[in-house]
Amino acid sequence: MKKILIIGLAILLFGCKNAAEDNGKIKVVTTTTMLTDLVKNIGGDAVQVEGLMGAGVDPHLYKASEGDVSKLYNAEIIFYSGLHLEGKLVDVFERMEASGKKTIGLGEFINKDELISSKLFASNYDPHVWFNIQFFKQFANKVTNVLSEAHPEKLDYFSENNRVYQEKLDALEIEVKDKIETLPKEKRILVTAHDAFNYFGNKYGFEVVGLQGLSTATEAGVQDVQRLSDFIINNKVQAIFIESSVPRRTIEALREAVLSKNHDVTIGGSLYSDALGNPGTEEGTYIGMFKYNVNTIVEALR
Ligand SMILES: [Zn+2]
């Protein structure tokens, strides 16, 4: 009820203002930084993208502010990641869709047979699909199709942007595979703050262990830390990783547990899992983020 009131208020406050600010660009709102970067690549100058979440923001826990609701209401098209990644925004998306707005959960269009299932997660699937570059290529195709359907006069422009971006993603795939090839198979064990890297692990032959499970909404318990510290010692894991969108104390507690058993493990660096780096930096793009993660992982585990 309260949320309906907020939307009503947003219509009153921002409904008229929107027309005055019209710059002729297609207004798109995205959720995560990965999607913001993607829509910028495909939409180019024709699109004005507003991302709700910034660098270091955890999408599992993110709640919509009143300002967000008005941004969503004023958008022509909304792209979100889906598969319950943005677990606290699901009902907002449903209301936007019910009001007739194009509201696209990109992860929902991936063939379910190719997804990693998880009974622990609300969607029944692991939502961290962007860590398979081939899935992100599918995201790019879907964004291109949705934008082109809404604005057929710009079809050639979006298609060309997509062609260029697909080539860059293909080059990324080759670079990443080459880098990972330099890491012996037995050293491919990736211990991180939460289970964001299962698709990455499947694709490149890593055993992946997250301290917190698929969503950061469930906190790691003392037993999780003890179990995982034994795993690290038994498997001679050299390095574990913090994540930019998850508080570092969980991984630090894990390291303490390993040290207390007279073994050592280093913190191999901070990975970008559910959010990119700061805008304007290389890690602030999907492609830059992916390279940074792979370099960090390979150098620390080598
Ligand atoms: Zn996550």
Between 8-12, 28-32, 183-187, 222-226, the lowest mean confidence (pLDDT) is in 8-12
User: What percent of the chain stands above pLDDT 90?
Assistant: 83
For 18-35, what is each residue's pLDDT tens digit?
444 678 999 999 999 999
Dist. CA 106 → ligand 1 center (Å): 16
User: Three-state SS for 243?
Assistant: strand
Q: How high is the mean pLDDT of the chain? A: 92
What pLDDT band is residue 6 in, cutting at 50, 70 and 90? low
* AA letter at 194: H
Q: How far is the CA of 195 from the centre of ligand 1 (A)?
A: 7
**Ligand 1 ion: residues within 5 Å (CB):** 196, 274
Q: Regarding beta strands 102-105 and 189-192, do their DSSP bridges make them parallel or antiparallel, or are they unpaired?
A: unpaired
Residue 154 has pLDDT above 80, yes or no: yes
Average pLDDT score over residue span 255-278: 97
Three-state SS for 54? coil
86 alpha carbon – ligand 1 mean position (Å): 9
119: confidence class by pLDDT, cuts 50, 70, 90: confident
Q: Report CA(49)–ligand 1 centroid distance (Å).
A: 23
Question: Do the Cβ atoms of 68 and 60 come closer than 8 Å?
Answer: no
Work out whether strand 102-105 and strand 239-243 pair parallel, antiparallel, or are unpaired.
unpaired
User: What SS3 class is residue 289?
Assistant: helix
pLDDT band, residue 194 (cuts 50/70/90): confident
pLDDT band at 16 (very low <50, low <70, confident <90, very high): very low
3-state secondary structure of 128: coil
